[in-house]
Amino acid sequence: MKIDKWDRIGDLIVNKFSLGLVAEDINGKFYLKSPTESEESVLQFKTEDKFFSAVLNLPNMLKPVGKSQIGTYEFNVLPYIPNDLTDFVKKLSPPQLINEILMPLIDFLEALHASGYIHRDLKLENVRVNSVNGKLKIFVSDFGKATILQGHLSNKLSYLSQHSSPDMTLSPQIDIYSLGVIAYQLLFGFDFIKEFQMSGRSFEKILGSKKIDLTILDFIKRATEPSALYRLNTANECRRLLNCTAGDKRTNISISRYELPTKFEIYFEAMKDTFFSSGKSLGDFEQFAGPFGEKYYSRLEKWSLSSEAIILHLKQNDEIIGICEASIKGTTGMISTLFIREDKRGIGFGRKLQEALADFFKEKNIFMSKLNVVETNTKAISFYLKTGWSIVDERQYPDAIQMQKNIRF
**pLDDT, position 51:** 94
Residue with more model confidence, 16 or 87: 87
Q: Is the pLDDT of residue 334 over 90?
A: yes
Residue 251 confidence class, pLDDT cut points 50, 70, 90: very low
> Which CATH number applies to 253-406?
3.40.630.30
If pLDDT is split at 50, 70 and 90, which confidence band does 249 have? Answer: very low
Q: E-assigned strands of 45-162?
A: 66-70, 73-79, 83-84, 117-118, 127-132, 135-140, 147-148
Q: For the residues 364-382, what does the mean pLDDT come to?
A: 90
Average pLDDT over residues 160-177: 82
pLDDT-derived band at 313, boundaries 50, 70, 90: confident
Mean pLDDT, residues 251-257 taken together: 70
* Topology, domain 8-79: Phosphorylase Kinase; domain 1 (3.30.200)
Q: What is the mean pLDDT of the chain?
A: 87
**C-alpha to C-alpha distance for 52 and 150, rounded to whole angstroms:** 19
Per-residue pLDDT tens digits for 190-235: 899 999 988 888 888 898 888 888 889 999 999 999 988 889 999 9
List Cα–Cα distances, 127 to 82, 87, 97, 138, 396, in angstroms. 11, 11, 13, 6, 57
pLDDT at 128 over 60: yes
pTM given for the model:
0.75
Q: Nearest to residue 304, comparing CAs of 239, 351, 257?
A: 257
Question: What would the mean pLDDT of 385-391 be, rounded to a whole number?
Answer: 90
| Domain parsing of the chain, residue ranges | 8-79, 83-242, 253-406
Share of the chain above pLDDT 70, in %: 92
pLDDT at position 262, please?
62
- Please give the CATH number for the structural domain made up of 83-242: 1.10.510.10
Is the dihedral angle over the CA atoms 269, 273, 274, 276 positive or is it negative?
positive
Alpha-carbon span 335 to 369, nearest angstrom: 7
Given a cut of 70, whether residue 2 has pLDDT beyond it is no
Q: With contact defined as beta carbons under 8 Å apart, do 355 and 253 qualify?
A: no
Query: Does residue 43 carry a pLDDT above 90?
Result: yes
Q: Is residue 8 within 8 Å of 29, Cβ to Cβ? A: no
- Tell me the average pLDDT across 370-389: 88
